Amino acid sequence: MEPLSSYFFSKFQHPTNIPFPSTAANHLLTPLRPPRISPLNFSSVRNEERPQESETITIQPLRKVTKCTGQLSTKRSSIQGTELVETRLKPSLFTFIFNSLDRFIAEFLDPPLRPSIDPKYVLSGNFARVDELSPTESEVIQGYLPSCLDGAYIRNGPNPQFIPCGPYHLFDGDGMLHSIRISQGKATFCSRYVETYKYMVERRIGSPVFPNLFSAFNCLAASLVRCAVTAARVLTGQFNPINGIGLANTSLALFGGNLFALGESDLPYAVKVTSEGDIITLGRHDSFGKPFSTMTAHPKIDSDTGEAFAFRYSSTMPPFLTFFRISANGIKQKDVPIFSMKKASFIHDFALTKNYAIFPETQIGMNLSEIIKGRSPMGVDPNKVPRLGFIPRYAEDESEMWWIDVPGLTILHVINAWEEDDGNTIVLVAPNVSPVEHIFDNMDMIHFSLEKITVDIKAETVSRHPVSTKSLEFGVINSAYLRKKNKYVYAAIGAPMPRAAGVVKVDLTLSAETECGGCVVASRLYGTGCYGSEPFFVPREPNNPEVEEDDGYVVTYVHNENSNQSSFLVMDAKSPSLDIVAVVKLPGRVPYGFHGLFVPESDLNKL
């Protein structure tokens, strides 16, 4: 998330900028440590029959870190032609002073913490942090794993490396990937941190160094002192913000020949899932050519062209929105700054059709004056009217962009969008958040109303049609239908989010006003005390265009809070009750988190 990062950290530069590699060919990517592989003894389960080269994307390898042994020292080594910096630290006087100041701020300057930023509440139950888990055999305790699931399902989410000292918001956690590697009906589970620059710096020092951007700035006195401490950490060389401050804790995406872990406060981090099921962080995407650059956690990949369309937003200075695309071979194209967005807005996701990119400008933004009142700078402007912005996909500038006011519409996630009537109509499918003022503080009060939004381009009018009375978020479709008219949506039932009490299947061709139960045609509740995450649809025959849209499986992680046991659940996407096809008992707990991705075996082999 990007509320303060680009502005705040751009004010500080390390006095002696430590050299940091900026480019590396894909075949020269050097992992931070050797692959961590454990012997695998798979359980016996039912099996089924197993049914262009591109230009290299630029990756910035992270620093190679060795065990802390003594005083500060820096040496360089050349590994496969790529220069890495090897830094060794032991707890210093500066570290002791800064950590003491952090404790002083938390104890004496912070106001009483709201539950939404109090780690005692935020990190309770299945939101509590977990340690990394090496690849471990996982037992299929019910059913079988279909052959189309050969590959890896990976879910991202926040998991702080250290117990926070002071305020902490769920969005502030370090990214951790929970992967289940499936091959010939056998499963291997693994949990690994995304080894971001932030994660590696704090692991080396042994304590938190970077401020929690969503929670640390909640009153004037504490905010000013935290800013001073952070500046001092930079000036004394504890970290260099030009190398990135992001968490990579939000989602995953596959484009440009790489698998990326994403978080919108930084650039993407390339990761790899090995044949043994381990997860390795390869490095930070570094082809943008601008310090302090960021990218959305929700790029849209056009399966026909292989391009990825993306954006970044700024909370402090124009342009508040910048649109760009990445070619099929991983090369970032020209920025299109959007100056017609006059105020900063929290734009987390966007939509893509055959001809347009669509941006939902919301009432959510940053107001630094709120810090004086003891509140988070992230808040809601009730006087701002939400809008939808439309720009051609291949626009050279914003001259062809136009906006339509849509009062009461707050979109955080977009499920799909397509064009009808020879391109004169755009249909957008997305949950509307209400009441928006509680989005960061009290998810219990939030309702996600899944809507079908129709835009008449010529008349510049918008009509909205709710498709269910349930609170539905984290919606997904068969990815082959992205940008195209689709029929089915699979969405999580909020309990509240990011916990999901179950999953539903929605038929967008039905009328919510006339159909009993709205447009929901199938559902499954996980049971008392059992909650899941975002569902994901995996087609049964991904390369067969003749199969029906819903011919496949819905997968997700589910946690039983009664037994403290996490499982991987596979459901039949066509059945009226989303019948269970397989349950895999996981050897480690999976905390509630954000977005996931299934990567087929064929794509894993190309990474």
Chain segment 431-450, per-residue pLDDT in tens: 999 999 888 778 889 999 99
Contact 133, 587 (CB under 8 A): yes
Residue-wise pLDDT for 365-381, tens only, equals 887 777 766 667 788 99
Residues above pLDDT 90, as percent of the chain? 75
**Residues in binding site:** 298, 348, 413, 595
Looking at residue 289, what is its pLDDT?
A: 64
**Torsion sign across C-alpha atoms 141, 142, 148, 149:** negative
Looking at residue 228, what is its pLDDT?
A: 96
Please state the φ and ψ torsions of residue 338, each to the nearest 5 degrees. Answer: -110, 100
Looking at residue 494, what is its pLDDT?
A: 95
Looking at residue 366, what is its pLDDT?
A: 80
Greater pLDDT, 403 or 49: 403
Rounded CA gap, 599 and 353, in Å? 23
Please determine, for residue 33, whether its predicted confidence score (pLDDT) is greater than 90.
no
| Average pLDDT rounded to a whole number, residues 97-118 | 94
Looking at residue 79, what is its pLDDT?
A: 25
pLDDT band of 18, cuts 50, 70, 90? very low
Please give the C-alpha separations between residue 274 and each of 34, 38, 465, in angstroms, as whole numbers. Answer: 12, 12, 44
Residue-wise pLDDT for 501-523, tens only, equals 999 999 999 976 655 567 999 99
Looking at residue 121, what is its pLDDT?
A: 96
Contact 209, 236 (CB under 8 A): no
Average pLDDT score, the chain: 86
Looking at residue 516, what is its pLDDT?
A: 56
**Residues in binding site for Fe cation:** 298, 348, 413, 595
Looking at residue 83, what is its pLDDT?
A: 35
Looking at residue 31, what is its pLDDT?
A: 37
> Which residue has tokens 């049964």?
540
| Average pLDDT rounded to a whole number, residues 538-565 | 97
- In 212-369 the beta strands, taken as DSSP E runs, fall at 251-255, 258-262, 269-273, 279-285, 300-301, 308-313, 321-326, 336-338, 351-352, 356-361, 364-366
Greater pLDDT, 87 or 19: 87
Residue-wise pLDDT for 189-236, tens only, equals 999 999 999 999 999 999 999 989 888 887 889 999 999 999 999 999
Looking at residue 254, what is its pLDDT?
A: 98
| Average pLDDT rounded to a whole number, residues 533-557 | 97
For the domain made up of 5-28+54-604, give the CATH fold. Answer: Neuraminidase (2.120.10)
Residue-wise pLDDT for 251-285, tens only, equals 999 999 999 999 999 999 999 999 999 999 999 98
Provide the 10 A C-beta neighbour count for residue 44. Answer: 9
Greater pLDDT, 84 or 352: 352
In sequence order, the β-bridge partners of residue 361 are 387
Please state the φ and ψ torsions of residue 228, each to the nearest 5 degrees. Answer: -65, -45
Looking at residue 39, what is its pLDDT?
A: 34
Bin 256: left if φ > 0, else alpha if -120 < ψ < 50, else beta.
left
| Average pLDDT rounded to a whole number, residues 319-348 | 95
